[in-house]
Amino acid sequence: MRFAFAGFDLWCGVFDAFVAAGWQPLAVFTMPVDNRQDFNEEVVARAQGHGVPVRMSAIRADDLRVLAEQGCEVLVVAGHAWRVPDWRAYLRHAVNFHPSPLPEGRGPYPLFRALLEARRAWAVSCHCLAPEFDAGEILAAEPVALSAEECHETFQLKLQLAAARLAGRVARDFAGLWQARRAPAGRTNASRRSSAERRSMCGAPPAGPSPMPSSPARSCITTGASWWWRRATASSPCSNGARCRPPRATGWARRARGAFCTLRSRRPSAHAAARSGAAGRSANPGVRRNENVSA
């Protein structure tokens, strides 16, 4: 079958699995990355090796039309940063690989939730691409077991391997899995709230101090500054001018953000140290400090 791939290096194994199953790539869509947390060199190299074009931008309706003219049968998405327009007028199939046991864990980068809640079981899901994020019918899922000492890096590696295994299963039996796809069992943690509910959240800080996670989770939070992390925990302006967290940042992400900010507050910045020194000097104007003492 002929397919187009949208993603970046973290989920490159999904692309490889489809190619290994005999599928023919027609195009690759990726995104600009910081080359610190996220990368796309491997995906670009794969595209160049197969002689297919690479686009560093969001998928547009014109791109879907071109894919349809080329005979593309499936759009495979794994880690694409932008919403894909309605594909049904152009393509027969479109699927997304998401690192959670859908419908639980909808939204960007749900790994932190699993770590903060000390989960022992998680999954990668393949679902039909829908207008609403991570809400389409589910084709298949691959379970992932977590240990008590799981950290972000090991968990991420397990999810990459699971996604590659899942992609192999989907590629080998795509027609059967597509035909038997099932609706999600529920709508958990990413169900869109009404505007009234969003307004009621504005300016309401979480009750009590944010709990500090265990050591493995603390390690993952201090290193989780990728685009997905920033998007999952960002604040957004609301209609009344206040700052409120969007629905995707409530619950687990709010606790994670609180823990992350607590960790940062324990390390005073250079500006804070300078202000503290200035305050000390102003409080004792008669005391002269020798700032350049040599040993």
Any idea which of 38-42, 61-65, 75-79 has the lowest mean pLDDT? Answer: 38-42
Q: Which pLDDT does position 138 carry in this prediction?
A: 95
Q: What is the mean pLDDT of residues 225-238?
A: 43
pLDDT at 147: 93
What DSSP character marks residue 54? Answer: E
With a cut of 90, say whether residue 286 has pLDDT above it. no
Q: Please give the backbone phi and psi of residue 199, each rounded to the nearest 5 degrees, phi first.
A: -65, -35
Please give the backbone phi and psi of residue 126, each rounded to the nearest 5 degrees, phi first: -115, 125
Q: What is the pLDDT of residue 186?
A: 58
Q: Given a cut of 70, is residue 13 above it in pLDDT? A: yes
Q: What H or E segment, with its residue span, contains residue 143?
A: strand 138-145
Confidence (pLDDT) at 277 = 52
pLDDT at 71: 96
Q: What is the pLDDT of residues 112-166, one digit of tens each?
A: 999 999 999 999 999 999 888 888 999 999 999 999 999 999 999 999 999 999 9
pLDDT tens track for 66-124: 999 999 999 999 988 888 999 999 999 999 999 999 999 898 889 999 999 999 999 99
Q: Which domains does the chain have, with CATH numbers?
A: 2-179 (3.40.50.170), 195-268 (no CATH)
According to the model, what pLDDT value does residue 107 have? 87
End-to-end CA distance of the chain, in Å?
73
How far from chain centre, in Å, is Cα 160?
Answer: 13
Mean pLDDT of the chain: 74
Determine how β-strand 138-145 pairs with β-strand 121-128.
antiparallel
Give the model confidence (pLDDT) of 239-266 as tens digits: 344 444 433 333 444 444 444 444 344 4
Res 133: pLDDT: 84
Global pTM? 0.65
